[in-house]
Chain A
Amino acid sequence: MNIHLATAASSPGNPVLNISIFGAFVAITLFIVLRASRNNKTAADYYAAGRSFTGGQNGTAIAGDYLSAASFLGIVGAIAITGYDGFMYSIGFLVAWLVALLLVAELLRNTGKYTMADVLSFRLKQRPVRIAAAITTLMVCFFYLLAQMAGAGGLVSLLLGINDKVGQSIVITIVGALMIVYVLIGGMKGTTWVQIIKACLLIAGAAVMTVWTLALHGFNLSTLLDAAVATAGNPEILNPGLKFGLNDVTKLDFISLALALVLGTAALPHVLMRFYTVPTAKEARRSVVWAIWLIGGFYVFTLVLGYGAAALIGADRILASPGGVNSAAPLLAFELGGPILLGLISAVAFATILAVVAGLTITAAASFAHDIYASVFKKGKARPEDEVKIARRTVIIIGIVAIIGGIGANGQNVAFLVALAFAVAASANLPTILYSLFWRKFSTQGAVWSMYGGLASAILLIAFSPVVSGSETSMIPGADFAIFPLSNPGLVSIPLAFFLGWLGTVLDRVPRDLDKQAEMEVRSLTGVGAEKEAVDH
């Protein structure tokens, strides 16, 4: 393997080719965004794409949003390096969709307009609940953005052979600027189309690589696994525990991660917002079904790709390459199809980051403009044009924050960073979403306690965890204030947030708004007033 080490340290492939493939993608999608945005007039157009997408289209876009750089680069890398333990991410990410399908998607579609806060504040006091929900939305989007931008940094360094920090930072800035342009012009409709195109390319690309990898091993999974073991020189790569089985703390960390993954999806604001781009609850259900099939299929591919990278390239070479653990998938593409396949796959991965960042940005901007500016500052009296104007300005600010964050978060495993975003979402949002959909007595105080308690505990536990300090791989390697041993906070913060929601509710003496409760329950289950077709014929 040492022979390969020297070649892997510089960029494989041809930077000019890589840039031209990526440039072609940008040109095509920008054209589509421009066309799609011609009739972006109202707030519903800008945030919810005029509720004009079908379940299939929206489901593909959801898959596009969800199959972020974390899924592609992060999981393939995690399986290639840590074997079976990396596969656990896929399982958690997928099973989580059942929570969204069964408990959240349709009911949410029926009771909201644009944002998660619409649903949470439906029958509670508007101001405090909206502010809390907007803050949690912004925080989750921020963590997710960090993960995507970290992926962009790694990918760029691999593709363009840019190894110095300044050069990488310039490219991250260009990516961020492009993303701002997409969202400003295209709104939700443009962003959704970019997601759809990207999802198709990503799934097709992964499928080709999967078949290719299997073909090299006689279409026999067992042969592929044997090859991975041979390259790794360690049969444990097929068994659980390589990463999480070291001691009791890492085992608990593993459970914490599993909990965050399975409960996080149904609370991710940028995924929830997608349910508003379809006309009916039935289409929302159809979207989730499409998403589950596409995502599930994709994760089977990543299993093959991860072990394929472990077999054909090997952990040592992956870790030694400029992009580190996140570069397993591009390296595998190079190994299989040379510079052209590398260029294509990397352009797709790059497009993935661009599209997901755009989706996150529009969610955060909508939340700020709709929940904080229009509902809190203007007390619901804001003109829709002003709201959209504010949303557009917010896009620029978030874009700049994402660029700075991305430059800062270079080099961490993307799947791992995304898992933190899942933990924050599951702690801060999920209890309130479930309580307000299913618990009649749930109160404003319960919601506020649960959201702030969940958010604060998740973030504090991350701040005092080995992620931030106390180990060689921490963000601040020199310092050590890691008093919380787990790197994922979910095991503590999620139950705590559920408990706080319950406690705040039973201690709340304010009488509940039973009119609104009746309205919300009837609307959520029947779709009264929320079905586009009911008024359009």
Chain B
Amino acid sequence: MGNDALTEEVAVSAETFHQVQKSEEFQELRKRHRSFVFPVAIAFLLWYFAYVLLAGYAHDFMSIKVFGSVNIGLLLGLAQIVTTFAITTWYVTYAGRRLDPIASKIRHEIEGPLATASKESK
């Protein structure tokens, strides 16, 4: 019930949140997060819609057989699955290296003084 305990019973002052939000550390975390997720999200959405438009409007291109009866459409579809796996792995690596350390540092800084209070509320 950690979530509930802190959200309701242990108030971190609004002042603290403003300070943290302005801190260089947090701004760096925010920048690292957004500079990864936004471009990657836009990129995979573009790639997905390029594929959708090809399937919708480039019937002859998608029907070209590459080997045996496997055509470009099928390969591009499977490529979508592969890129989904690849982006997932990429993000997890990035988050583990570049986001989690700062996030947990900030968290401990804020929660440090509250450790006693939250133990009581548990």
Bound-state Cα–Cα, A282 to B103, Å = 11
Bound-state Cα–Cα, A317 to B23, Å = 66
Whether the pair A98, B29 counts as a contact (CB closer than 8 A) is no
Whether the pair A296, B84 counts as a contact (CB closer than 8 A) is yes
Tell me which residues from 76 to 109 in chain B have a Cβ below 8 Å from any Cβ of chain A.
77-78, 80-81, 84-85, 87-88, 91-92, 95, 100, 103-104, 106-107
Q: Does A51 contact B (CB under 8 A)?
A: yes
Q: Which residues of A contact B121 (CB under 8 A)?
A: 535
| Chain B residue total in the interface (Cβ 8 A) | 65
Whether the pair A296, B85 counts as a contact (CB closer than 8 A) is yes
Whether the pair A535, B2 counts as a contact (CB closer than 8 A) is yes
For B57-75 the 0/1 string (1 means CB < 8 A from A) is: 1010011000111110110
Whether the pair B122, A300 counts as a contact (CB closer than 8 A) is no
* The residue from A50, A98, A519 contacting B17, defined by CB atoms under 8 A apart: A519
Whether the pair B37, A103 counts as a contact (CB closer than 8 A) is yes
Tell me which residues from 49 to 63 in chain B have a Cβ below 8 Å from any Cβ of chain A.
49, 51-53, 55-57, 59, 62-63
Q: Which residues of A contact B74 (CB under 8 A)?
A: 84, 87, 238
Whether the pair A536, B3 counts as a contact (CB closer than 8 A) is no
Bound-state Cα–Cα, A423 to B90, Å = 29
| Chain A residue total in the interface (Cβ 8 A) | 67
Bound-state Cα–Cα, A241 to B92, Å = 36
Bound-state Cα–Cα, A103 to B106, Å = 21
Bound-state Cα–Cα, A296 to B40, Å = 19
Bound-state Cα–Cα, A146 to B5, Å = 37
Tell me which residues from 3 to 21 in chain B have a Cβ below 8 Å from any Cβ of chain A.
3-7, 10, 12, 14, 17-18, 20-21
* The residue from B57, B63, B81 contacting A239, defined by CB atoms under 8 A apart: B63
Q: Does A27 contact B (CB under 8 A)?
A: no
* The residue from A84, A98, A103, A229 contacting B73, defined by CB atoms under 8 A apart: A84
- B103 CB to closest chain A CB (Å) equals 5
Whether the pair A533, B71 counts as a contact (CB closer than 8 A) is no
* The residue from B49, B91, B119 contacting A101, defined by CB atoms under 8 A apart: B91
Q: Does A292 contact B (CB under 8 A)?
A: yes
Whether the pair B84, A226 counts as a contact (CB closer than 8 A) is no
Q: Which residues of B contact A113 (CB under 8 A)?
A: 3-4, 7
Whether the pair A518, B18 counts as a contact (CB closer than 8 A) is yes
- Interface stretch, picked from A9-17, A205-213, A251-259, A503-511, is A251-259
In the complex, which residue of chain B has the Cβ closest to the Cβ of A276?
B3
Q: Does A525 contact B (CB under 8 A)?
A: yes
Q: Which residues of B contact A514 (CB under 8 A)?
A: 18
Whether the pair B63, A238 counts as a contact (CB closer than 8 A) is yes
Q: Does A225 contact B (CB under 8 A)?
A: yes
Bound-state Cα–Cα, A300 to B80, Å = 11
Bound-state Cα–Cα, A524 to B82, Å = 29
Q: Top 8 nearest A-B pairs by Cβ distance? A: A222-B68, A529-B6, A532-B2, A515-B14, A225-B69, A239-B63, A240-B55, A535-B2
A-B contact pairs, 9 of them (CB 8 A): A254-B55, A258-B52, A293-B85, A296-B85, A300-B78, A514-B18, A527-B104, A528-B106, A534-B111
